[in-house]
Structure formats: C-alpha cells, structure tokens
Amino acid sequence: MEKIKKFMRNLWKNKAWLLMVLPGTIWLLIFSYLPMFGLVIAFKDFRISPGGFVQSLINSDWVGFKNFEFLFSSGDAMRITRNTVVYNLVFIILGLIFAVTIAITLSQLANKKLRKVYQTGMLFPHFLSWVIVSYFLFSFLSFDKGMVNSVLSTFGVDPISWYNEPKYWPFILVFINIWKGVGYGSIVYLAAIVGIDTTYYEAATIDGASKWQQIKHITIPLIVPLMIILTIMAIGGIFRADFGLFYQVPKNSAILYPVTDVIDTYIYKGLMNMGNIGMSTAAGLYQAVVGFILIMVTNFAVKKIDPEYGLF
C-alpha cells in the first residue's frame, strides 16, 4: 500500500512533465502498439465478411506460414532483398559520414547568423514530400525538356533517357536520399557538439592544438557514443526501405525495377494486384522481426567491444 501511495505522489509531483509527454504517448499507443493485434492476419487467409474487421478476423481460416511463402518462393525474392539491404547499408554509411561532417563544419562557423542560414537551407529538403521531390527531379532528368539533357546538348552530347536507363539509378537514388536527409541528420550531431564543454577546446588551444587536432581528439571521440547508438537504431530498419524514395522518385518505371524494386514496393504492388492482405502483413512482420534481431545482435557486438557504447 505504501508503494502505491509513493507512486501516486511521484505522479502528482511530475504531473507537468507527464502532461507534456501524454500526446506522444497516446500517439505511440494508437499507431505502434494497438495495430500489433493485427499481426495475427499474417497467419490467416484474411477475407472480408459481414460484421466488420473483428468478425472477419475471427471467421478467416488459419493458414500457418503460407503467407510467408510469397516472398521466399518468388524468383524476385533475392533481388528485392539485395536491393533493400545494400541501399540501406549505403544510406547508413554515407548518411553518417555526411551528417557528422556537416555538423562539425557548422560548429566551426564563427558567424551564428550564417550558421542558421546554412542549417535552415540544408534542413528544408527534409520537409518536402517524395512526390514533390520526384517532380523536382523529373524537371532535371526529363528526356525532352530536362535541364541535364539541355546542358548535355550544349556540349554536343546526346540526351539520355534517364527513366529507361537502370545503370544510373543507384547513384541517383543515393544522391537524392543524402540530399533530402543529411540536413535533418546533422542536427542531432550539431546539438551534441554544441553541448561539449568548451574547457576542452580552451585547454587544447593553450597546448597549441590546431582546429583539425581539436576535431580529431575532442569532437569526434565525444560524439562517437551518439554515432554508435544512432547507427544501431538505423541497422534495425535495414530491411525496411523508404517507400516514397523507391516508388515515387523513379516514377514506378518497370524497366528500372532491377535497381529500384525493394521489399516495400514489391509488397505494395503485390497487394494492389492480388489484394492479399495476409501476405502484406506477413512481409511486415518478417521485416520487423529481422530488424529486432539485427538490433539485438549489433547491440550485443558493440557491448562486447565497449559496454558503455551499448544502446541498452
């Protein structure tokens, strides 16, 4: 009874903070935890029946792991899995390098107003939808009136049909993803750098350390734990791809599927063509389970190297 009273007193004492996190908690429960009850669809032959969703779920027959066979029995399984994993690995590595580099560069700017201008400019693409980005890119890569082909024509080079040439798209997708996300990614690292105690830099300056030496021996080592934590979390989503990037940006061009088709787009097209809700749920569960395993394994490996760098 005493523990309950103590718990209630703590709740009342921290009521202001709890009210601040309440909207986020409600959002998390509704959109992240409540839908988990629907995972049972992955093991059923889901069919809509009178009585609503719950009644349809009850009336649907159990099929075990048959819904999972869609991904693994398809001849495209290896291709879409390879594309998803390789793209995400490149995004994680390059995103980390560019985000840290930009954050360090911004932190070295003496003019605070100029720093804010640069930061705002790099952050702006993050708030653009992939639909807008796709049309923005199309204005550059259009065969007839695209800016890139216009420049190539000026130098006597034949125009390129970008949306019919798969070999260019791995580089285009990587560039667009970095361009759109690096500004947002650098904010976290910039906040961590700004929070570093200035006495470290003052002592290094007195000892005659150059700017590069200060970055190498003070800034980077102190943000390494944050870099590791964010990388571990990113690895957990390595089997999930940004649907808008891989569907909207290439304009769903069928000839580009060998290099633009990933698990998420493949599931979407399968769902739209066949209407198999059980299959799409099974694929989502597969991605979530693999992501969880990757987070646990990566965190375990990091803690073996240095326990202080672990996520938990």
In 3D, which of 114, 126, 125, 77 has the Cα closest to residue 239? 77
Name 194's Cβ contacts closer than 8 Å, sequence gap at least 6: 107
Number of domains, the chain: 1
Answer yes or no: is pLDDT of 63 > 80.
yes
Which domain CATH number covers 70?
A: 1.10.3720.10
Which structural domain range is residue 106 located in? 65-309
User: Is residue 27 included in any domain, yes or no?
Assistant: no
User: Is residue 228 included in any domain, yes or no?
Assistant: yes
**What's this model's pTM, rounded to 2 decimal places?**
0.82
Q: Look at the alpha carbons of 147, 148, 151, 153 in this order and tell me if their dihedral is positive or negative.
A: negative
State the DSSP H helix or E strand holding residue 45, giving kind and residue range, or none if neither: strand 44-45
pLDDT 10s digits, 148-207: 888 888 888 888 889 989 999 999 999 999 999 898 889 889 889 988 888 998 898 888
Average pLDDT over residues 236-240: 84
Answer yes or no: is pLDDT of 50 > 90.
no
Whole-number pLDDT of residue 1: 67
pLDDT 10s digits, 16-44: 888 898 898 999 999 888 888 888 888 88
User: Is residue 5 included in any domain, yes or no?
Assistant: no
Q: pLDDT category, 4, cuts 50, 70, 90?
A: confident
Answer yes or no: is pLDDT of 91 > 90.
yes
C-alpha dist (Å) from residue 124 to 100, 159, 183: 18, 31, 8
DSSP string covering 86-137: HHHHHHHHHHHHHHHHHHHHHHT-S-HHHHHHHHHHHHGGGGS-HHHHHHHH
User: Is residue 35 included in any domain, yes or no?
Assistant: no
Q: pLDDT category, 51, cuts 50, 70, 90?
A: confident
User: Is residue 52 included in any domain, yes or no?
Assistant: no
206-222 CB burial, b ≥16 within 10 A, e <16: eeebeeeebbeebbeee
User: Is residue 2 included in any domain, yes or no?
Assistant: no
pLDDT 10s digits, 95-141: 999 999 999 988 888 777 887 888 888 888 888 899 999 999 998 98
User: Is residue 165 included in any domain, yes or no?
Assistant: yes
Average pLDDT over residues 50-56: 78
What is the overall mean pLDDT for the chain? 86
Whole-number pLDDT of residue 6: 82
Answer yes or no: is pLDDT of 229 > 90.
no
User: Is residue 247 included in any domain, yes or no?
Assistant: yes
